[in-house]
Amino acid sequence: MYRLVLRPGVLTPKPKLTANQNWTEFFPDETITLTCGFDGNSDSWSFEWLKNGKSLNKNPTLTITTKPSDSGPYTCKGKLNGRSVVTQHSDTFQLNVRDQLPRPILTQSTDSHVIYKGESLTFKCDVKVKSTQWEYLFFRESRQIHANTSNSFSIQSAQVSHSGKYLCQVKRRTLTSGQSDVRTVTVKEIPQAQLNSEWKDAFPGETVSLQCVIPDVSENWIYMWFRNEKTVSSGPDTNVYGNTLSLSVKTHHTGLYMYVCQAQLERRSVTSAKSTQHSLNIYGSRPTIIVKQDPQYPEIYTGEQVKLKCSIQEQTSKWAYQWKKDESVQGILGDTYTIQSATLSHNGLYTCHISRNGVTFSSESKKCTIIEPPQPKLSIESEWKIFYPTEKITLKCSINANPNEWRYEWYKNESPLPEAKDTLLINSAEISHSGSYKCKGKHQQRSQVTTSETQALQIHILDPTPKPDIKIHPTFEFFYTDERIHLDCNMSGDGWEYHWHKDSKPTQPSITNTNYTIDSASLHHTGDYTCEAKRGDFSIYSEPLKVEVQARSPAVLTLVTELSDIMAGNILTLSCEVSDGEEWNYTWCENGQELNESINTLKVESTADTIKNEFKCRGERTARPLYSSWSEVFVAKNIVFKRKILLAISGCFVCCIVILIIGCVILKITRKPEKKEKVREDLFISMADYENPTSPLMECINNKATDKESGEKEELHLNHISVTHVDGVIKDENSPPADANGLTSFKG
């Protein structure tokens, strides 16, 4: 506990005045709390607050909700409770309360309101009030975009989206300032320099001027020039000043030069895009002088006005002109020579001479031809003169001159028609349009110039309109798949274009020939075919022609392998059949390769490779259809494996029977009968009785399997089995008895 001891001659302690805010500038409605006390325990003390020496209250703390009248110096002092001890006054706390918070000032790092894409930009918000706890708010288009205790906001790489109106505010706790003035920022794409110059060509002795500008921009730019991608600077023949480049043309400058300019913004790291290239062709020889005739008709009609104009292809100013006709000076000055009323005597060669600074150049001679008015020619736009009703007919009256200077008069059967243009159009022909047509021309500007009439053109309109003739080749009742179908369409007259349709829809791909060929027919080609004959805007359809496509008879491939073939050499027998009642030859394919077989059966040695191969077949014949469809692909691997298993089982069964018979024969030989009895017919037969068809055993042996084999079942049906056992080897039933080792059957 702190203990205060007062001694005579010792000053009383000085209380400590503290504020809960570390700034002295306040604004209306803010709150500040002042505290008066000593370091340690101040419980035995009471305190008094004073402003300008006047007592306010006697609490340890003083809370003020600020208003301008609260401004002034504040102090406090302490009094020891129960004793007449009063401390010194504390240090003064000067409180300043302003009428209102001043508006912040928004500045930016670049004075210009135009910022270019990629530039950096920094805004700074300042308020003339000392405080360490301001929060700075930045806005764009009234939307807050940044808030921080730092008074700056930066855009590192400006984009077009950063354009807008910027302002800022400052905030301290519940106190918010007014808005700063608005700073409008426009972010633009980096501009492209523009090179301006009327100079395209120049001659030695002339001075060429080029100017580089940045459109719609007022900033200060520094300009750079490039010629054929190399920097250009001032030199003996070149002068660069501001945004202008001047070139004094010399003979050694001859060539084609590509000029480009570029500008850099002064005191900023912004460089414009280069201008488009400007070509300057500098000649080292005489200019090209061109003489043109106005009007530019190849011939001028007598009585017309004609002008000859002299121009320089490379340069068009500051030249003096003189004219000559057939080397005779005409005394005409200026770039235009005018003949007011042409006559045949004005025919001749005209030459233009130009001079500048004592140098004279001459043009090539221009021939001026004066003739009498031309004769018109009547023609028909189409290649045919016979039409059908509703067709479009176009007649044209042409004059070998500028058609815009002529109007025309038309006649049908010597009667005038109202049409005055060079084209007579009949949009929909009728019978009444048949007749004899003529025309003649009249000059638009001079009514005295009239041509003679053309020769008559006869037009015929035929009615009724025939339909296109559609035919099919060959003329079969129906077609088989893969066959070739050829359709022909013909329409009388000239100039027809043909379009083909199937079931009222255009064929795909679209065909515009007189014939339509299906190289390989399929079932979807069945339908009604029509052809459309068309010329110009007129078209007519043929009658429909029905085309029918049928599927080819299918070929069926089956396995017809005999057991004896398998046991003798593993032979696979395949059969191909087209069941449509016709006679067929057959084509076989193994793994896509055609085999040299033409009968309906194919025998193939069964090996580890062949049983994996794919077989197919089809029928062929000399009459339609020439061939059937291909059979399904057959692979023998699985069925052969099953057959071998069944044959092995059958062989074992036959061997057991033979062994049983031999055992019975041996038992018969070694056994002695005890008494004579009537011998019963032995179940065994002698070899001499081999051919007896009534023997049960032989009937069993001679039985033939009649069931057909099926590739999808697992059972194997044998077509022919008849064997005997000789030395453990299966022999054919037709083997002679001598091969049986002399064994015969025994009786009683």
Query: Which candidate, 125, 133, 119, places its Cα nearest to that of 167?
Result: 125
Q: Give per-residue pLDDT as tens, 235-275.
A: 899 999 989 999 988 888 899 999 999 999 888 888 889 99
Strands 152-155 and 143-148: unpaired
**b/e 22-51 (16+ beta carbons within 10 angstroms → b):** ebebbbeebebebbbbbeeebeebebbbbb
Q: Are the C-beta atoms of 611 and 637 separated by less than 8 Å?
A: yes
320 has a pLDDT exceeding 80: yes
Q: Give per-residue pLDDT as tens, 455-488.
A: 999 988 888 888 899 999 998 889 999 899 999 9
pLDDT at 195: 94
pLDDT at 710: 34
* Residue 719 CB-density burial (10 A; 0-12 exposed, 13-18 middle, 19+ buried): middle
Kindly indicate the confidence band of residue 87, based on its pLDDT and cuts at 50, 70 and 90: confident
Cα-based distances in Å from 444 to 88, 334, 395, 449: 120, 30, 20, 9
pLDDT at 210: 94
Q: Give per-residue pLDDT as tens, 162-207.
A: 999 999 999 887 788 888 999 999 898 888 899 998 788 787 877 8
More confident residue, 734 or 622: 622
Neighbouring C-beta atoms of residue 415, cutoff 10 Å: 8
Q: Give per-residue pLDDT as tens, 482-536.
A: 899 999 999 888 888 899 999 989 888 777 888 899 999 999 999 999 999 988 8
Q: Give per-residue pLDDT as tens, 660-708.
A: 988 888 888 887 655 544 444 443 333 334 344 443 333 433 433 333 3
Share of the chain above pLDDT 70, in %: 85
pLDDT at 357: 58
Is 654 in a helix, a strand, or coil? helix
Q: Give per-residue pLDDT as tens, 139-151.
A: 999 899 999 888 8
pLDDT at 643: 64
Query: Which candidate, 38, 118, 116, 114, places its Cα nearest to that of 79?
Result: 38
Q: Give per-residue pLDDT as tens, 394-442.
A: 999 988 877 788 899 999 999 999 888 888 998 888 888 999 999 999 8
716 has a pLDDT exceeding 50: no
d(CA 482, CA 663): 68
Neighbouring C-beta atoms of residue 104, cutoff 10 Å: 24
Angle at 477 between CA 474 and CA 483, to 5 degrees: 50
pLDDT, mean over the chain: 81
d(CA 132, CA 151): 11
Strand-pair partners of 704: none
Amino acid (1-letter code) at residue 707? D
d(CA 207, CA 238): 10
Strand-pair partners of 354: 321, 361
